[in-house]
Structures are given as C-alpha cells and as structure tokens.
Amino acid sequence: MFANTLKPDLNWGALFLRLFLALVLFPHGAQKMLGWFNGFGFEGSMQYFTGQRGLPWIIGFLVIVIEFFGPLALILGVAVRLSAAAIAVVMTGIIVTTFHDHFFMDWFGNQHVEGMEFFLLAIGMAITLVFTGGGAYAVDRLRERQASPAA
C-alpha cells in the first residue's frame, strides 16, 4: 500500500512546496480579490495600486488575479510552472517597488515596515516549482501521463 508513496518519481517535495506556497499566498489574494481577512476587495485594491502606488491599471489587475488564482492553481496542481513563474514575478515586483531603504527585518525598531524575507522566500519556492513542476498529486502530472505513451 505504501510502496508507491515513497517512489522518487512522485516528487513529494514539489507537492509540499506548492501547497505551502499556496497556503501563505491565498489569504493575500483573497484580501485583494474578495475583501476577505479585512482586505479591501477588488475595487479597493485597484484604487490602492493605481492611486497610492501609481501603478498602471493592468499591473494592479494582474497582481490581484495572480495572487488569487495562482495559489488555487498550485493547490490543484494546474499550470504549476506558469502559476509559479507569475507568482515569482509579482513577488519580485513587490520588492522592486516597495523596499528601497531596507533589506532584513526591523531589528532596531527604526524601519516603518518589515523586510523582504517573506518575498524572497516566496520567490525561491516559486522558482523551484518552475523547475520541478507540481510533483505528486498534481493535475499537470496526470495530463503528462495521459499525453505520453505507456512504457
């Protein structure tokens, strides 16, 4: 029964990477898209991105869509490489547009925001998924098996 669960070709590491990345990102996407978890919802988030941050509307729209649907795709294992690449781009964009004067956490209490460690970690996880794919129990994996001839 458990013999197949330990097969190296299942890539359990990728499964856990995508599930935990989705777990930490989904609430942020739900804040922006739906207003859950004390978020502003779609309209409020778009106003923030285009007004306060001065981003073009298409960038704000894509950030919301990627942060909401990206984690859902990761959970299901659908378009994992594409979703992970998009998430890495969003996290990189957050670093580039937000963190000008500081890098790590507020060790001395003189920063007005926290550091970028979370975003760096998310980028690392996402890039790993771009290279590995979704791993075990991913819809992508089932589609790959159906597309390839039986050995």
**Can you give the residue ranges of every domain in the chain?**
11-147
pLDDT tens per residue, range 27-47:
999 999 999 999 999 999 999
Residue 101: the pLDDT is 64
pLDDT tens per residue, range 54-98:
999 999 999 999 999 999 999 999 999 999 999 999 999 999 988
Contacts of 48-55 with C-beta under 8 Å, sequence gap 24+, read: 53/97, 55/97
Please state the rounded mean pLDDT for residues 102-106. Answer: 65
Residue 103: the pLDDT is 66
d(CA 111, CA 118): 16
H helix runs in 101-138, sequence order? 117-132
